[in-house]
Amino acid sequence: MASRKSPFFNTATTLGKIVAFFGVSALCGVLAAGMLIPAASVAGSSAAIGMDFFDALPAELKQEPLSQPSKVVAKDGTQLATFYAENRTPVPIDKISKDMQNAIVSIEDERFYQHNGVDLRGIARAAAHNLTSSSQQGASTLTQQYVNNVLINAAFLKGADKSDITYSGTKNMADKLREAKLAISVEKEFTKKQILQGYLNLVLFSGTTYGVEAAAERYFSVHAKDLNIPQSAMLAGMVQRPNTFDPLKNPELTLKRRNTVLAAMLKTKSITQAEYDKAVKTDLGLNTKTLKSGCVAAASANYFCDYVAHLILKDPAYGKTKADRENLLYRGGLTIKTTLDPRLQKEAEKETPKIIPANDSSNMGAAIVTVEPGTGNILAMAQNKKYGADPKDKSYTTYNFSVGRDMGGTNGFQGGSTMKPYTAIAWLEDGRKMSDVVDAGDRSYGSTSFHWKTSCSPKGYVRVDHEGKGYAPKNFSKGFYKRMTVDYGLYWSINSATAKEASQLDLCKIADVTKRVGLLDASTGKPMSGLNPSFILGSQPITPLAQATAFATFANKGEYCENRALESVTDAAGNSYKVPGISCEQVIEPSVIDSLNGTLKRIAGTRVAKGSISQPIGGKTGTNNGASSTWFVGYTTGMATAAWTGRFDGNAAIFNVPINGQRYDNPDSSTFASPLWMNYMKDVIDYYPAESLGKAKSSSGSGDSTSGDGSTDNNGDNGDNGQ
């Protein structure tokens, strides 16, 4: 609508200045009366707040984007969660019922269509009432209320402290004059329909429910366009005192207020006598629907949601400070599209509590996380525990087992024998073969006599002492202290074999392999140092997400891809935020991976799947001391999945502990982790077609394959020695 230019409103003209001066003086007077300011101070106020002050007031209302909820969606667009400080869904005026429009005008500003933003008649009436009555009456027009709501919204979006925001009831004379001048400006710039639309989308109805669309859905489970007369009257009545006229807290007061609105609608002739008589006899007719904010309210993928929230709140791309980033997440109307595949997520959430129930007396955790080789995309992230905090119910936790503490998780879990492939890689990179024979009969590496090569240390070597015995890794089964091929030692997960290989290598180069595939010490967030040989058998804590991402490198011919969870982030205005793209790097030669996969394929296909999965798979088992952390990390060329079970509240052994109704004398990865992986994978493996995992260019051999039964992980003392 074109601006309505008039010399009576244009303070740039002489006539306008004269009219404005007397108008301001008069306005100060009625405002003072309305605010019950002593008459003696009115003259002083109008002198102090004169033409210079009025000219200095802003004449244009700066419109900030409406505070809107942000939503997290899966890769297929399925909504996972909503974050909001103000639950609001803006709608155009033609999507708001005429009854609702009439109700709000009738009760809040019956002269809305006659005034120009400030209703002097209404102010005078309110002033007279307030001076002669013990009750108070307001006179702000809908336009002034709209201005006030816009200013509050802008303050919140800018991160202003609540104590610095001017609300109704706390305004002084200057606040009232500023609001009046801005209201006049708004009326010159916008149509009445536009102002009414803006008001109905901004105004608070109760709690965190803002705007008529959200209110209609909250209390009646309908859209704003479908609100009828009594529903409209109830909502219109709430805006005066949202906490008081809340139908869930004060139904009787709310009903009385609704009927007051119906009477106002009858007075303004927006409803007939018959419509009034019918409406006033109805009850409130609530049909409530709750939209909770945050990850705790998500129907699924709560822990993935929590991970995504951490990504947003830690990234300066979304604001300079954490407060700025929180403001954007809860008010910016972001659409956060993620990499999550709901098909995989559904199965992961089904299987994790099956293997160990959330309320199991053992209080053990179980987790599944799946990463896509070639992209690093996180496809699924689930665990057996319910998301939330309830100190009386062990079914709940807010710890995300799949990630580190800085992302809402724990300090990680000992990796056990899932760490052994990294020594094998270093062995192959040193020009050796999987068919090479090592003497796995050595049971100890003396504290004074043996030097572990460490090129990254000042001396170039370290000596390890553990209770005067040096480093003495043990095997679970006695029959494996003998000569064997590297392939055989890895296949049967023989500790003494891996230790012998490492003794002939540079520990720092083994640690470098873990660094290249993104595997960090979860307790420090730093790369593994390699200055203690115990890390080769899994003594260092790692996260399931990091291990799944690392093993995805084995599925991707040695190309490591940083894991990612965000596909795109846009705000309510359509602005896009930069998200990490696919970032991959060749970190291990394909020929090395081919040789490694020759062994890991047989571990997964023969020992774990036992031929029940037709697609090419690879993987490695892992169990720490006491079986407080058990793993199977398996992969195809389409997906890499870490399945973990164990304790997240310490490292107490689980031998003979009742778990899911059964006691286990010698639990290991085959007890929980491998079945968890299998039960999950059999339902999802076809979603991401798998190709060949390659073929070793030279024979890897199998060594003395007649020794041992391979029934356990054989990693026994996974790192107790040398610590």
Q: Are 306 and 397 in contact (CB under 8 A)?
A: no
- pLDDT score of 354: 97
| Domain assignment of residue 33, yes or no | yes
Distance, in Å, from the CA atom of 55 to the CA atom of 418, rounded to the nearest integer, reads 74
CA 28 to chain centre: 50
- Beta-strand relationship, 483-485 and 461-462: unpaired
Q: What is the pLDDT of residues 445-464, one digit of tens each?
A: 877 778 999 999 999 999 88
Q: How many domains does the chain have?
A: 2
- Average pLDDT estimate for 126-139: 54
Residue range 332-380, pLDDT digits in tens: 999 999 999 999 999 999 999 999 999 999 999 999 999 999 999 999 9
pLDDT of residue 722: 24
Residue 338 φ then ψ, to 5°:
-110, 180
Residue 279's H or E segment, with its range, is helix 273-280
Pick the more confident residue, 417 or 11: 417
390 located within any domain: no
The domain boundary, picked from 280, 301, 321, lies at 280
Taking only Cα atoms into account, the Rg of the chain, rounded to an integer number of angstroms, comes to 35
Task: Look at residue 481 and tell me if it is in a domain.
Answer: yes
Residue whose structure tokens are 């394959």: 705
DSSP assignment of 22-48 equals: HHHHHHHHHHHHHTT--HHHHHHHHHH
Tally of CB atoms within 10 A around 396: 16
Q: How far apart are CA 666 and CA 653, in angstroms?
A: 10
Residue 33, pLDDT > 60, answer: no
Helices (H), 83-141: 98-108, 120-132
pLDDT score for 183: 87
> At residue 88, does pLDDT exceed 80?
yes
* Average pLDDT for 202-221: 95
* Domain final position from 280, 305, 332: 280
As a whole number of angstroms, the distance between CA 586 and CA 664 comes to 42
User: How far is C-alpha 245 from the geometric centre of its chain's CA atoms?
Assistant: 33
Quote the CA–CA distance of 246 and 210 in Å, as a whole number. 13
Q: Alpha-carbon distance 415 to 149, whole Å?
A: 55
Q: To the nearest 5 percent, what fractions of the chain are helix, strand and coil? A: 40, 15, 45
Residue 349 one-letter amino acid: E
Model pLDDT, residue 131 = 57
- Helices and strands (H, E) in the chain, number of each type: 22, 26
Q: Same domain for 275 and 419? A: no
pLDDT at position 516 over 90: yes
The helix (run of H) or strand (run of E) holding residue 585 is strand 584-586
The CB density around residue 314, as the number of other CB atoms within 10 Å, is 12
**pLDDT for position 439:** 95
Report, as an integer, the average pLDDT of 420-443.
Answer: 96
404 occurs within a structural domain = no
| 2-11, 438-447, 571-580, range with greatest mean pLDDT | 571-580
Sign, CA dihedral 513-518-520-524, equals: positive
Average pLDDT, the chain: 86
CA distance 488 to 436: 10
Q: Do the domain assignments include residue 703? A: yes
Residue 553 within any structural domain of the chain: no
Query: Which burial class, exposed, middle or buried, applies to 308 when counting CB atoms under 10 A from its CB (0-12, 13-18, 19+)?
Result: buried
Residue 479 per-residue DSSP state: G
Exposure string (b/e) for 213-252, b if CB count within 10 Å is 16 or more? Answer: bbbbbbbbebbbbebbbbbbbbbbbbbeebeebbbeeeee
Going by pLDDT thresholds of 50, 70 and 90, the confidence category of residue 291 is confident
Residue 134 covered by a domain: yes
Mean pLDDT of 520-541: 93
CATH number at residue 267: 1.10.3810.10
Please provide the DSSP assignment of 185-245 as one string.
HHHHHS-HHHHHHHHHHH-EEETTEESHHHHHHHHHSS-GGG--HHHHHHHHHHTTSTTTS
Residue 209 lies in a domain: yes
Write out the residue range of the structural domain in which residue 194 sits.
14-56+87-280
Taking the CA atoms of residue 527, residue 529, residue 530 and residue 532 in that order, the dihedral angle to the nearest 10 degrees is -130
Of the three residues 223, 245, 280, the one that is the final residue of a domain is 280
Above 60 in pLDDT, residue 708?
no
